[in-house]
Structure 1
Amino acid sequence: MMMNFYKTNRNGNRPVRSFLLLFVGCWMAGMFGRNASAQNCADGNTISNQTFGTGQRGALPNGYINYTYVTDGCPNDGRYTVAGMVSGACFTNSWHGLNEDHTPGDAAGNMLIINAPYPGEIYRETIAGLCTKAAYEYSFWLVNLNLEFPPGTCGFAIPNDPDITIRVETTDGRLIDTLHTGVTLRTPTPVWRKFALTFNFPPMPEETTDVLIRLIDNGEGGCGNDFAIDDLVLKRCTDCESPSVYVPDIFTPNNDGQNDVLDVFMSNVAAFEFVVYDRWGSAIFVSSDPAVKWDGKFKNVACQEGIYTWSMTYTFTTSNQKYTKNGQVVLAH
């Protein structure tokens, strides 16, 4: 049995220069003054997928979890294990038994089994190279391993159960977004529940950044707060917006030393092709180097004044994402 829980939170003359400055100013206000809108992420691109592997796994790498690893399938307070099943005999038959992990279709797949002793961080991972203009979804599946018991068991009127907060931060500690799942209640039979946080980056000058994702358990330990988690997935819900690229919409190739070529403003380019077309759709200029700019000529003959269409494809050194951009430019002598 599975249940879903989502939170969608929250991407050559003076007049020509003045127009350029105005356009760049408006463009920068748009780029750095908005967040990418949150999207349904069912078909998003998977960036990271922690399934805890298959077969005998052993301890997680240093830095992922603060608890002590044990091989015992019934870890005591402050301990964890990575295993493909859970015995219902744990702690005098007080846990649900699980015959398999959550990951669909993996033979001998594992899950992370935690006996949380007190409120605090239970898991963290750093994920590199995210686009700051895209929307993302981070999700995980959790099952409360504790059976239902009458009130007052272990001396608690309200039993101790997992109560998780997801925190997405930059690696220098700036909070990007957070989600509090609330208490995951006990059930008569084991129920895997999905929790998901869709987040956007706040305005920042970086085009890509690394993030730290932390899972924090707010619940108390002792006679409860025992659970398994699996399938911790980060998806990109929207395309990475093109980083800083600007092509003016007018230039004046009249040899006065101002705006005599059609500039393409961009940086950190790995691959580039820029094509200009005449009104009949014929290519009259092609460049594979941003430093090679159109001077308004075709076969060394000055082109007529008018509107010309251009298209550009490019990638950046920061990612393998391929971008396509199209536009028009006015050639005025």
Structure 2
Amino acid sequence: MNKCAVALSLFLLLATASVCQAQCSEGAIICETFGSGPKGPLPQGVTNFRYVSKACPDDGEYTVLDTVAGSCHGEAWHAVREDHTPNDVRGNMFVVNASYQPSEFYSQKVAGLCPGVVYEFSLWALNLNRILQAGACDDYSLRNPIIAMRIELPDGTLINEVVQPAIARSATPTWTPLSMQFSIPTSGNDIVVKLINKGLGGCGNDLVIDDISFRPIHPVLNIQFPGSSAAEMTVCADTQLKLTVGAAPGYVNPVYLWQQSQDNINWTPAPNGNQATYVINPVRAGRTYYRLRNTQAINAAAVGSAQCSSVSNVLVVNGRPDSPFSLGDDLALCQGLAKVLGKTDAWPAGTTFLWSDQSTNATLKVTTPGTYWLETSLNGCTYRDTVEVNHQNCRLSDIYVPDAFSPNGDAYNDQFLVLHEGLFTTFAFRVYDRWGSVIFFSQQADIGWDGTYRNRPCSADVYAWTVDYSVMDQTNKEEHFVRSGRVLLVR
């Protein structure tokens, strides 16, 4: 197994570039394992101890090794044949021989954390000293490591410190877990983590450190199908399904982010998923995974980050396939014509049909305006779509001009008018005598010729006419037309 350090891009704690198999805390965003294979000194500023490349460092010195020889200091140390991770191939450890006086031996700045989130800082430590009889060594006092784990702001302000119990000696090399929890004040995002050996050096107090990890500890968050404890539900596709927060609500007064996935690995935001309840509308055909993240409002911009937010359990929604279709947009039906509704290509096998007129064919021929719907059923799942069919004058350019009129005052056919079902956008109507002179002109379609010229009745005869007009077509485009003909004036 290779070792590695896993870290977010926003901060790095002595990370290595290998594939991570080390035994850090579950969910760790930082996992410092000190790498594998030959290793030199740690980066400057991480420790104020003196680096040595020899196998047995003296007081105030450290080294980084994959094994510790049992021959060190008169065989006072354990022979440690591998690091904390079992079966690790040449995995390294941080080997420290304490100073005579209590001192800080590890320090690292961590930037970009989430305010108000509880974090756990943990590591594994091993007392290198074997169980020995007291001798003439520091007044017969055999000393053990006493580690203080300390969290500070960059300016030195203490956030929290935990002094761990002394790590006892053991008959065989024994790794001991050490950990502490803390939260960052809302005024900052950066901290400094420190390890301080509170014990005295000299006769004992020698140790090995491995697998330093750093992880957020979020409140438990769970989601559920309302009224059900099931983790998986099968419903008809193209229906609605509600998901909601369960008994464990995560953060108090949070912001929310619902997420969905097709493989339970790659997650994307669910549409409009920023409330405690999420309505899937419509359910997709096939298998879809859903989960919820929430965090405090101060971390709203990072609600999708594992570091800053609680993440819920996963619910699985199986959409049973139906027979989805579309009748299309509302449509216009030309008077005297018919249209066929419904698709004419293949439907899924087993699909049944029910139209608004109760017919059960795959298509429906309509000849009149009205509201029409179709329901398809497949595997017990119903899908419906509705369309409005409206009447339309499909010959907008057509006009009607009578071929005769009788202006005799009987209130019937007394005017020579141009008739049209729609509206003109431009209009010019002229009547001519037999010599081609204009004897009537109108730019208003509702004003026709009354059979007079200069307030004197015209004689019964045949008169020529022209009409120059424009109308809007079905695509709202203006079209221009010129029509002409003859009319008989009857007296």
Q: What TM-score, normalized by structure 2, do the two folds share?
A: 0.41
Give secondary structure in 2 for the equivalent of 1:130.
Answer: coil
Residues 244-259 of structure 1 aligned to structure 2 (within 5 Å): none
Moved over 4 A (4+): 239-246, 271-277, 312-320
Partner of 2:160: 177
Shift in Å, 1:112: 0.3
For structure 1, which runs of at least 5 residues remain unmatched after alignment? 1-41, 247-270, 284-311, 325-333
Structure 1 Cα separation of the partners of residues 205 and 149 of structure 2: 17
Give 1:13's aligned residue. none
- The yes-or-no answer on 1:193 pairing with 2:176 is yes
The equivalent of 1:321 in structure 2 is 305
TM-fit CA distance, 1:225: 1.1
- Could you say which residue in structure 1 is the equivalent of 2:204? 224
Q: Distance in 2 between matches of 1:282 and 1:66?
A: 57
Q: Per the alignment, do residues 167 and 282 of structure 1 end up closer, same or farther by CA in structure 2, a change over 3 Å counting?
A: closer
Distance 1:107 1:136 in 2: 30
Question: What SS class does the counterpart of residue 133 from structure 2 fall into?
Answer: coil
- The equivalent residue for 1:131 is 114
Look up the equivalent residue of 1:55 and give its one-letter code. Answer: G
Pick aligned residue for 1:52 from 24, 34, 52: 34
1:140 aligns with 2:114: no
Does the 8 Å contact 2:141/2:203 carry over to 1?
no
Kindly report the root-mean-square deviation, in angstroms, between the aligned alpha carbons of the 2 structures. Answer: 3.4
| Residues 170-194 of structure 1: per-residue CA shift (max 9 Å, x gap) | 2122222111112112112111100
Moved more, 55-64 or 123-132: 123-132
Secondary structure in structure 2 of the residue aligned to 1:129: coil
Within 5 A, what are the aligned runs for 1:156-305? 156-202=139-185, 204-206=186-188, 209-238=189-218
- Of residues 67, 72, 76, the one that matches 1:90 is 72
1:270-315 C-alpha deviation (Å, 9 max, x unpaired): x9976899xxx799xxxxxxxxxxxxxxxxxxxxxxxxxxxx9999
Distance change (3 Å), C-alpha of 1:68 and 1:282: closer
The 3-state SS of whatever aligns with 1:131 is: coil
Q: Summarize the Cα distance change of 1:316–1:150 in structure 2 as closer, same or farther, 3 Å threshold.
A: same
| Gap change, CA 1:276 and 1:90, over 3 Å in 2 | closer
CA 154–321 in structure 1, closer or farther in 2 if over 3 Å, else same: same
The aligned counterpart of 1:67 is: 49
Equivalent position amino acid for 1:321 in 2: S
State the 1:199 CA deviation.
Answer: 1.9
- Between the aligned partners of 2:30 and 2:280, the Cα distance in structure 1 is 44
User: Sequence identity of aligned pairs in percent?
Assistant: 36
Of the two, which has the highest radius of gyration? Answer: 2
Structure 1 residue 154 corresponds to structure 2 residue 134: no
Q: Please say if residues 142 and 193 of structure 1, whose CA atoms lie closer than 8 Å, have aligned partners that are also in contact.
A: yes
| Superposition TM-score, scaled by structure 1 size | 0.59
More helix by share: 1
| Counterparts of 1:123 and 1:100, CA distance in 2 | 22
In 1, the alpha carbon distance for the partners of 2:274 and 2:138 equals 78
Work out whether residues 44 and 238 of structure 1, in 8 Å CA contact, stay in contact via their aligned partners in 2.
no
Displacement of 1:127? 1.6
The answer to which structure, 1 or 2, has the higher relative contact order (CA under 8 A, 6+ apart) is 1
Q: 1:242 to 1:56 in 2, by over 3 A?
A: farther
- Whether contact under 8 Å (1:44, 1:237) holds in the other structure is no
Question: Which SS does the other structure have where 1:45 is aligned?
Answer: coil
Q: Is the 8 A contact 2:67 2:81 kept in 1?
A: yes
Cα displacement string for residues 44-69 of structure 1 (whole angstroms, at most 9, x for unaligned residues): 53121110000011100001000111
For 2:216, the aligned partner's letter is R
After TM superposition, give the deviation of residue 319 of structure 1 in Å. 7.8
- Structure 2 counterpart SS, 1:154: coil
CA distance in 1, matches of 2:177, 2:74: 28
User: Structure 2: how far apart are the matches of 1:276 and 1:170?
Assistant: 33
What is the count of residue pairs matched by the alignment? 225
C-alpha distance in structure 2 between counterparts of 1:213 and 1:104, whole Å: 27
Asked if the contact 1:138/1:234 (under 8 Å) is kept, the reply is yes
Distance 2:303 2:273 in 1: 23
Contact persistence 2:25–2:213 (CA under 8 A) = no
Q: Are the equivalent residues in 1 in contact too, given 2:60–2:98 (CA < 8 A)?
A: yes
Q: 3-state DSSP class of the match of 2:137?
A: helix
Indicate the SS of the match to 2:54: coil
